[in-house]
Structure 1
C-alpha cells in the first residue's frame, strides 16, 4: 500500500486528478480534493499523504495535504453509503475543520450541500461520526479547541448554535480566540 508520495507534478486536470512523476521516473495518477488541487501547479514539487483504494476492477490513489484530511477521508469511506468519490467531494467542499464542525454541531444542511450527499446520508454521517472525530482528525495546528471555546462563549451570550455555526463559516478564522471572537460577533450583531 502506498502511504506517502513525493515528486514533480506533470499534469493537472479540473476533476481533481494529477499525475506525479517520482525521481525514479514512475508516474502516479492521484485524485485530490479541489482545495488541495488549487494550491498545486504543473512542474512544482509536491508531497502527499496517500490512501490506496482497492476495488475489484481498479486500484485508485487519493492524495491529501495533511494526515488529518486522509484520516477523515478514511472515516467517511468506512460508512455505509459513502464512497471514495463522495468523501473526496466532501473534502473539496469543506475544510477538515468545517466538516468536523458540521458533524459535531449536527449541521446536516451543510453536509448536504456537497454533491452526492443527500439529507439522509448527511444525517447518517452525523449519527455515526458525532463525538468520534475530535481525537483523530484535528491536528494541534488547527486550533480545534479554540473553536469549541469560541462556540461556548457565543452560546453563553445567548446566540443559537446554528447562527454561531453559520457566522463562523462566513468569516475567515485565524485561530486566535480574541480575534476570531470579534470577527464572529461582528457578523452576529
Structure 2
C-alpha cells in the first residue's frame, strides 16, 4: 500500500493532482478542499490510500489522517465505495459526518453528490458508533449537521474554490470574480460543482 507521497506538484486539475516522486508522477484523486492546499511547482506531501480493482488502481489523497480514516470508515457501509466516500468528504468534514449520523440527519448526509435518501439512511444505521471518535469536542459546533447559514456556506465554498483556482495557476482577481459569479447565481452549489462552474467560466473546464 502507498501510504503517502511527497514531491513536486507538477499538475493540478478538478479532482486530481500529479505529484512527482523520484521522477515518477503519481496521479492522486482528492477533494477540492485537499487540492486547495497544493500549488503547482511547489513541494507537497499527501497521505494516501491505494484502491485496487480488477480494472483499475486509484490513489486517493488526503491533507490529514482524520480525513483518510473517515474515508476508510465510510466504505464499511454496504454499497458505498471509494468514489462515493470521497463525494461525502467533498460535502462534509469528518466532524460534520459524525454529527449528522448522531443526529440521524439524513438530509445533511444527502448533501453529498450521489447520496440519496436510502443511502443516507443506510449510513445512519451502519456507521453509528464507528464515527463517534470524529465528533467535534463538546461545545464546539461541527458546522454541518444542520447546515450552516446560506451566506456562510457560500462564503466558505467560495474561499475553497478560489484557493483551488489559485493552485491551478489562475490569478487571484479572476479566480475570486469567477467564484463570486457562480455562487451568486446558485448559492446552494457545493464546492466540486462550484469549482466546475468556475472553470467553465474561465474557459478551462
Equivalents in 1 of 2:20, 2:126: separation in Å?
A: 38
Among 138, 143, 146, the residue aligned to 1:166: 146
Equivalenced residue count is 150
Q: TM-score, normalised by structure 1?
A: 0.73
Superposed structure 1 runs of 4+ greater than 4 Å apart = none
Q: Kindly report the root-mean-square deviation, in angstroms, between the aligned alpha carbons of the 2 structures.
A: 2.1
What is the correspondence of 1:85-104 to structure 2 with a 5 Å cutoff? 85-104=83-102
The answer to whether structure 1 residue 130 and structure 2 residue 128 are counterparts is yes
Structure with the bigger RCO (C-alpha within 8 Å, sep 6+) is 2
Structure 2 partner of 1:17: 16
Among 71, 74, 91, the residue aligned to 1:73: 71
CA contact (8 A) 2:96 2:145 kept: no
Equivalents in 2 of 1:70, 1:85: separation in Å?
A: 13
Q: CA deviation at 1:147?
A: 4.2
Equivalents in 2 of 1:128, 1:105: separation in Å?
A: 14
Structure 2 partner of 1:5: 5
Q: Secondary structure, in 3 states, of the residue corresponding to 1:146?
A: coil
CA contact (8 A) 2:50 2:60 kept: yes
Q: Secondary structure, in 3 states, of the residue corresponding to 2:33?
A: helix
Equivalents in 1 of 2:146, 2:116: separation in Å?
A: 19
Q: Please tell me whether Structure 1 or Structure 2 has the larger radius of gyration of its CA atoms.
A: 1
Q: CA deviation at 1:134?
A: 2.2
Gap runs ≥5 in structure 2:
154-205
Equivalents in 1 of 2:9, 2:112: separation in Å?
A: 27
Q: CA deviation at 1:7?
A: 1.1
